[in-house]
Amino acid sequence: MSEIAKHDGKVIAVEKRTVKVEMHVLSACSSCKAHEKCGFVDKADKIVEIETENWEQYAVGDTVTVSVNESLGLLAVLLAYIVPAVLIIGGVVALSLCEMSEALVATLPILVVAIYFLFLYSKKDKLQKHFSFGISKI
């Protein structure tokens, strides 16, 4: 069974069927005893829009828990990082083996990745439905 990743956050806006939550996300380094001296701690504020049928029960300032299935996080990494990397590396290798000019070897794989991201953007509504977040009050 899939694990659920959870983060606490604060409601910053409530609109019809949508709750916006701000979360303070820390990297794994934040639990290290030396993180203050190291300087590599990664802290970021993330704002997530969550569609929910129960949007009326939330108010600005509420503390909530946002959850997502971890397997969806792995799919997001695959779509955003691994597939483009494979396209670039595969394109460079294939074009180099075909003895294309260096200019084509450098630009065509980047063009292919740009087309790939345009394709993902065209499917964003379908992807947003697939990558849904859960929300609950603390």
Q: 31, 98 in Cβ contact below 8 A?
A: no
Q: Answer yes or no: are the C-beta atoms of 132 and 57 closer than 8 Å.
A: no
Nearest-CA neighbor of 45 among 77, 80, 20? Answer: 20
Segment 7-19, tens digit of pLDDT: 899 999 999 989 9
**Token pair belonging to 40:** 């590599």
What is the C-alpha to C-alpha distance for residues 19 and 135, in angstroms, rounded to an integer?
A: 9
Q: Are 131 and 106 in contact (CB under 8 A)?
A: no
Q: What is the mean pLDDT of the chain?
A: 85
> Is pLDDT at 1 greater than 50 in this prediction?
no
What total of structural domains would you count in the chain?
1
The pTM (predicted TM-score) of the whole model is: 0.65
Q: Tokens for 90?
A: 């595969």
Q: Are 29 and 42 in contact (CB under 8 A)?
A: yes
Q: pLDDT tens across 97-115, in order?
A: 999 999 999 999 999 999 9
Q: Residue 35: give the domain boundaries.
A: 4-137
Per-residue tokens: 93: 């290798």
